[in-house]
Amino acid sequence: MRLILLGPPGSGKGTLAVDLARLYHIRHISTGDIFRQMIREKTELGQKASVYIDAGQLVPDDLTIAMVQERLASEDCRDGFMLDGFPRTLPQAEALDRLTSDMNCRIDAVLNVQVPDDLILRRLSGRRMCRGCGRGYNIYSMPPKQENICDVCGDQLIQRSDDQPETIRQRLNAYREQTEPLIDYYAQRDLLLDVDNSGKIGENLPDVDRALKSKLGDESLNG
């Protein structure tokens, strides 16, 4: 099973992606998470990417595509994957078509995650991340047990640098201008499935699972 999650920043696609990947036993690949890890580890690519990420812009296609190509080539992606945050531009979608064709496989469905604008802003402004291990929280919907302290490693929670109000605006613009055209791209290929993700964490999962099963048939989702 190979899935793509499309959706604006703050649509909760990261959380939905983790839940779906667990449900279908496939590897969750978040390009945003990979970039953030590289930034924490101060790799060369991480340092290049952070300039764009902090400005709310997309990292250039060549860097992003090369990173995803390497990730998809690894053994743990052989039986399936859930792409979260990739592709985000038409050249990335075209590169993914080439990659899957080289791997003799194809994308089964593209979930278009939908959430009203006011909820997007609330989710993004409430979001926090552990400075040490990178685990995500939300002060409204998924607070830590102790204020500002990570439940897992005890380090301090911080606001992502790209969750500041001006950067949020830039990221939403980047989504509308560069990523939204992919909705048509995948609709034309009959891969698109619109899903609502405006409920609390985990609340929409059963409906998404049902919608996918009815699009693809139960058999294809068994692993």
Tell which one of 16, 29, 38, 53 touches ligand AMP (CB under 6 A): 53
Is 127 among the catalytic positions? yes
Binding mask 164-183 for ligand AMP (x = CB under 6 A): -------x------------
Minimum CB–partner distance for residue 14 and ligand AMP (Å): 7
Residue 165 half-sphere exposure, CB side, CA atoms within 13 Å?
Answer: 0
Q: Does the protein bind ligand AMP through residue 64 (CB under 6 A)? A: yes
Is 171 among the catalytic positions? yes
CA 93/CA 179 separation, integer angstroms: 10
Is 160 among the catalytic positions? yes
Residue 119's φ and ψ, nearest 5 degrees, are -70, -35
Q: Does the protein bind ligand AMP through residue 8 (CB under 6 A)? A: no
Please answer whether residues 131 and 157 qualify as being in contact, where contact means their C-beta atoms are separated by less than 8 angstroms. yes
Tell which one of 27, 28, 88, 123 touches ligand AMP (CB under 6 A): 88
Q: Using CB atoms, what's the residue nearest to ligand AMP? A: 32
Q: Which is nearer to ligand AMP, 179 or 204 (CB)?
A: 179
Tell which one of 7, 8, 9, 12 touches ligand AMP (CB under 6 A): 9
Q: Does the protein bind ligand AMP through residue 123 (CB under 6 A)? A: no
Q: Does the protein bind ligand AMP through residue 50 (CB under 6 A)? A: no
Q: Which is nearer to ligand AMP, 64 or 204 (CB)?
A: 64
Size of the site for ligand AMP (CB under 6 A): 16
Q: Does the protein bind ligand AMP through residue 19 (CB under 6 A)? A: no
Binding mask 30-49 for ligand AMP (x = CB under 6 A): -xx--x--------------
CA 38/CA 49 separation, integer angstroms: 9
Interface with ligand AMP by CB under 6 A: which residues?
A: 9, 31-32, 35, 52-53, 57-59, 64, 85-86, 88, 92, 162, 171
Catalytic center residues: 13, 88, 127, 160, 171
